[in-house]
Copies of this chain bind each other. A is one copy, B any other.
């Protein structure tokens, strides 16, 4: 098994057996391939006698999206497993544990999280997650602070920058988030009823200017090691537990990109509530739950990041009066902008979210899409002047009010 090849189920079982301390020596293991086959093989290997289990995730040397197939580096498996190992060290308990990683096979053997649900699906099914704001603000504050020049010796940080150079996966983001949605690109994909809305995006030069600045930040600002794709489909959750998965897009980029990704996905779920919560009074509560979660995430992140900075700042310059306030305010501005960009691309770009696409009624879906676009474009246009998380919530609430 020394050269790369897609594993068989028998091989998956053999590798799982070799992981110490999980299965009994005489266990009869069973394997199920549960990946969607587009990017990775995912084997669930378990012992029915003890219920012990493991996940083996193996990268495939291509990506399939909407019927197209293109080659995609296996190095993403190394990046994913190295990111998971580092994140576990920095934010213990908030990512799946990695047992084995094999860069030749592009394989990561990790903790099975089948008792969790993908957060996007959990939200769609009406779930509430009282521990989520606390957990995700922990994850953001700890992984971002301790990989930045504020919390990590600047020379060690440069070594991490080198390890996590990630050209191929960054290109996906650069094209699908910061380019295609703002022009008539063949990569775009949207409902026919959004044709005029898409045209409005393509014609809005103020918006293009802000997106060009955000894209430049994504390309050049090596602030911290990002997850890089932190939407609610990259989070396994229960009411008591949060596990962030799939950091194959990890690279050194602007901190606000990860924060904005979380906000964007909560806001699209917020925009889709007319379908998922048909009763108006209940819908108000559901929306308040979502905006409160956003408020709590920012408040928690802001407090924890500052605490880590005050207690673990690696140098005296970081304690320059006024610097921390200025830095945190810039993170908030960036979070506004990147949240907006992440919303817009999910409505008119290549890749969508189930919260909105699974709304069967075209008129209700169109309303959710337009509400999302209104929120997204407002966030992008506001970003450089943003000063408080309440402005983000205000933008969302005003957009709902205007859509009535």
The minimal Cβ–Cβ distance linking A84 to chain B, given in whole angstroms, is 21
Residues of B with C-beta under 8 A to A162: 162, 165
Residues of B with C-beta under 8 A to A187: none
A158 with B154: CB separation less than 8 A: no
- From the candidates B171, B209, B315, B320, name the one contacting A208 in the complex (CB within 8 A): B320
Residues of B with C-beta under 8 A to A327: 216
A220 with B219: CB separation less than 8 A: no
Contact size range, A: 35 or more
A155 close to B (CB within 8 Å): yes
Q: Which of A193-234 contact B (CB under 8 A)?
A: 205, 208-209, 211-213, 215-216, 219-223
A316 close to B (CB within 8 Å): yes
B216 with A149: CB separation less than 8 A: yes
Known A165-B161, A165-B162, A221-B220; judge A212-B170 contact (CB<8 A).
Answer: no
A168 close to B (CB within 8 Å): yes
A236 close to B (CB within 8 Å): no
A221–B216 Cα gap in the complex (Å)?
10
* Residue of B with least CB distance to A254: B220
A317 close to B (CB within 8 Å): yes
A334–B346 Cα gap in the complex (Å)?
35
* Residue of B with least CB distance to A168: B155
B179 with A209: CB separation less than 8 A: no
Interface residues of A (CB under 8 A from B): 149, 154-155, 158-159, 161-162, 165-168, 170-171, 174, 178-179, 183, 205, 208-209, 211-213, 215-216, 219-223, 315-318, 320-323, 326-327
Residues of B with C-beta under 8 A to A320: 205, 208-209, 211-212
Residues of B with C-beta under 8 A to A149: 216, 219-220
Residues of B with C-beta under 8 A to A171: 154-155
* Residue of B with least CB distance to A210: B320
A179 with B316: CB separation less than 8 A: yes
- From the candidates B165, B208, B216, name the one contacting A158 in the complex (CB within 8 A): B165
Residues of B with C-beta under 8 A to A317: 178-179, 208, 211-212, 215
Residues of B with C-beta under 8 A to A221: 220-222
A167–B157 Cα gap in the complex (Å)?
9
A316–B222 Cα gap in the complex (Å)?
23
A161 with B161: CB separation less than 8 A: yes
Residues of B with C-beta under 8 A to A155: 167-168, 170-171
Residues of B with C-beta under 8 A to A179: 315-317
